[in-house]
Amino acid sequence: MKLTVIGPGRAGTAIHQHACHAGLACTLGRTVTGVCDVVLIAVPDAAVADVAQAIPVGPLVGMLSGSVPLSALAPHAHAFVMHPMQTIQPDRDDLQLTGCAAGITSTDVATAATASELARLLGMNPVPVAEELRPLPHIASVFASNLLLPSLVSAMQVLAAAGLDEQREEILGPLVRRAVDNALAEGTTAAATGPVARGDLATVQLHRRRLRRVNAQLDRAYALLSTALLPLVPPTAAASVAPGLGPDA
């Protein structure tokens, strides 16, 4: 399989690294040069349609976007999406996509099979996603990665205020990993722990008083995230702590 990746950014570079590691004939650039079997578009969402239209008809054409409609790959009759559900950091030499899920959507069964095989060759696990259900897996990925960051950064800022910044991995690593493992094992019925789950208004109020002395934005983050937790705790606990989560509490 000869692969061309269009878009030498973070995602395109990562795909190219995986392809080379797998022994695939792969080129990385901004246009299609030469003959290839598959073209994979790895550009910002707003540019996908224009890039697709500039590709000569012939090879299979795919994209990495988790939210752009499959129709954006017109005029290519055999097209697909291969959406890596993983965070990708720039300027890294390791194979960042190994073991992650890749959402596969395609125009036809044969193209789906090729896209799934390509995902496997690149070290990812293909997961079929119906076009009408996109971009729900992308939204789930945002919740599970991007939207975790404010909470984690807030935790590290609080540790830094306590003079424990250098111990952040030692302190937070086991806690975060256990919380994630428990949530994934229990699913949408995962049980919350901590002062909000216990209905401990006094502790919530103490936390907020101390946070205001450190950084008002951290207090706001604590209140917003704790409010988001309320539907996941027993109603009596939620009712107990809710008065302590308002902007004037």
Residue 196's identity, in one-letter code, is: V
State pLDDT tens for residues 98-156: 999 999 999 999 999 999 999 999 999 999 999 999 999 999 999 999 999 999 999 99
Alpha-helical regions (H) of the chain: 10-21, 48-54, 109-121, 136-144, 149-161, 168-186, 195-198, 201-214, 216-229, 235-241
* Contact between 69 and 83 (Cβ < 8 Å): no
Alpha-helical regions (H) of 66-165: 109-121, 136-144, 149-161
Residue 93 pLDDT: 86
Residue 34 pLDDT: 87
Closest Cα partner for 42 from 99, 79, 74, 81? 81
Residue 158 pLDDT: 97
Contacts of 242 (CB under 8 A, 6+ apart): 227, 230
Q: Distance between CA 105 and CA 43 in Å, rounded? A: 18
Residue 170 pLDDT: 98
Q: Residue-wise pLDDT tens for the chain (249 aa)?
A: 999 999 999 999 999 999 999 999 999 999 998 899 999 999 999 999 999 999 999 999 999 999 999 999 999 999 999 999 999 998 888 999 999 999 999 999 999 999 999 999 999 999 999 999 999 999 999 999 999 999 999 999 999 999 999 999 999 999 999 999 999 999 999 999 999 999 999 999 999 999 999 999 999 999 999 999 999 999 999 999 999 999 888
Residue 249 pLDDT: 83
Q: What length is written for the chain?
A: 249
Residue 110 pLDDT: 97
Residue 80 pLDDT: 98
